[in-house]
Amino acid sequence: MGDGEAEDGRVRVNLLPIVAASKAPAPTDPTDPTDPTDHAFDIATRLHGLAESPMRGAVLAEILTNLPLQEAANLVGSIIQRGRLGGPPFELALGGLEELLRTERLEYDLLSDMYRELKNSHLGEAAALLLPGHRHREILGEAPPRHQGGRELTLGERKSLARGAPRETLDRLLRDPEPQVIRLLLRNPRLVERDVVLVAARRPVQPEVVRELMANPKWLSRYAVKRSVVLNPTVPNELALRLLPFMTQIHLTEIANDPALPDLRQQAARRLLEASKLANRKG
């Protein structure tokens, strides 16, 4: 049995060095990634070194649970603010934050307390990540794919194909409106990022198809997939706004000025940009 591996096969991560580092005095210059006392950078670097998004989410959840409330809120704000700029180590740390929020790893009371802390600070826009979305009307999808002879494939046939479809069949299945088919298709080892981006970008798209995509940690961890969801005007704002805070400043600017997107999404992007500018000035 290797280091860090328990008898039940699950991976164990020693959190003590991470939590201890996070409790040290605040950095002298939080905007300087080379500052040896920048503990948000230290934690992000450690998260960056973990192999999988679920592991990063689990470790970050443990860190936040063990930190004093204000420090936990400041860490969340720092990960969001600096993760939006793109690049290591904060981009993957931001993905870890996304993972723990998606899987609801934190207690509601802690989320509520961090929300209040963030709302009262110059990182108030980061609080939007901690709020649940609102349901919006459903959007109809495309017709199911057909056999080459013209007969419509049954749901059972499409689900069977999705589990192990050859490459030449994938293009037809990528247009399937049935969320069950998409769920199975997302697990197909022949699928590549370009395919998933097409699913996220297709117009119109069913909200349940997008929810299946957002429930898949392998593909949602890809920035190009998140960006395609946010830039798709037929994705309900309920879903797109959950990913908006993970966009880089370049893409937030693109979203804020895209007349094809709903006004609510453009306005939210502008608020995030303004909050980042304010945070950088205060930093």
Q: Give yes or no for residue 259 having a pLDDT over 70.
A: yes
Band of the pLDDT at 52, cuts 50, 70, 90?
confident
- pLDDT, tens digit, 9 for 90 and up, residues 59-91: 999 999 999 988 998 898 888 878 877 778 888
CA–CA distance from 28 to each of 36, 38, 45, 52 (Å)?
9, 8, 18, 31
Q: Can you give the residue ranges of every domain in the chain? A: 16-130, 155-282
Q: Give yes or no for residue 266 having a pLDDT over 90.
A: yes
199 dihedral zone (left: phi>0; alpha: psi -120 to 50; beta): alpha
Q: Give yes or no for residue 163 having a pLDDT over 60.
A: yes
pLDDT, greater one: 104 or 185: 185
